[in-house]
Amino acid sequence: MCAGRGGMGTLATEGYVRLLDARTDAHADQEYLDYVVFNDAGVPDRTAFILKRSDEDPVPAILDDIDKATAIGASFLVLACNTEHYFFDRFQERTSVPILHMPRLAVREMSQRFPAHSHPRVGFMGTEGSRAAGVYRREVEAAGYVFVEPDDALQHRVDSLIYDDVKGGRPLDPQRYRAVIEAFLAEPYDCDIVLLGCTELSVFNERFPMPELPLVDAQSVLVDETVRRAKALLAD
């Protein structure tokens, strides 16, 4: 059994669960995976805390969910939020249950699909908190890539997709989404790959897939690894 931490935001968590069920390739109720989802929507905003715009610490609420998931006997844990990986070491120290690390999994997948020697420049789309915290920078640079951050103007466009569209409930516009991606691929960024490092952006990617573009969706990678691990447990 796996346990997933969600509610950050809820629509992104729904997307994770929906993909998880679809990729399980089940043909009867009994063939789906056993999992528990903690949709803890009351967790304080991670970005606001990381950027010191709020003194509401999100960690205690998340640790409480980790304690509950550990108590019910989860075989591994999933954090369905990229930004909260800033606190990953504190979470893993709390439990003996392994926690999947979404940024590391995403970079591993990126290395297989788009090797650094031929696709060196990686544009990062994620929250301002993830950008400031270096959640992805460390993993991307350790894998031999050039990590390309948006300037403040482009970051504002990314944030608008995350907070105004997905979290805020505004109708999703595929052209707005595509325009931001193409900004990373064009001058002055000249990225070879765009890494979707926010699960709200994964909502866009699920709704409007663009396989012709060099995208890596961290949540999609996490779903695949969840299915692989869960099925391996069933086979033991």
Q: Which of 122, 191, 193, 198 is catalytic?
A: 198
Q: Which two tokens stand for residue 116?
A: 């650094």
Q: What is the DSSP letter of 72?
A: T
Cα(70)–Cα(98) distance, rounded to whole angstroms?
10
Cα(175)–Cα(71) distance, rounded to whole angstroms?
45
Q: Which residues pair with 64 in a beta bridge?
A: none
Burial label for 28, CB within 10 Å (0-12, 13-18, 19+), is: exposed
Q: Which of 33, 79, 81, 162 is catalytic?
A: 81
Cα(58)–Cα(42) distance, rounded to whole angstroms?
9
Q: Does residue 25 sit in helix, strand or coil?
A: coil
Cα(115)–Cα(107) distance, rounded to whole angstroms?
10
Q: Is 191 annotated in the active site?
A: no
Burial label for 68, CB within 10 Å (0-12, 13-18, 19+), is: middle
C-alpha Rg value of the chain to the nearest Å: 17
Q: Is 198 annotated in the active site?
A: yes
Number of other residues whose CB lies within 10 A of the CB of residue 147: 18
Question: Annotated catalytic sites, by residue?
Answer: 81, 198
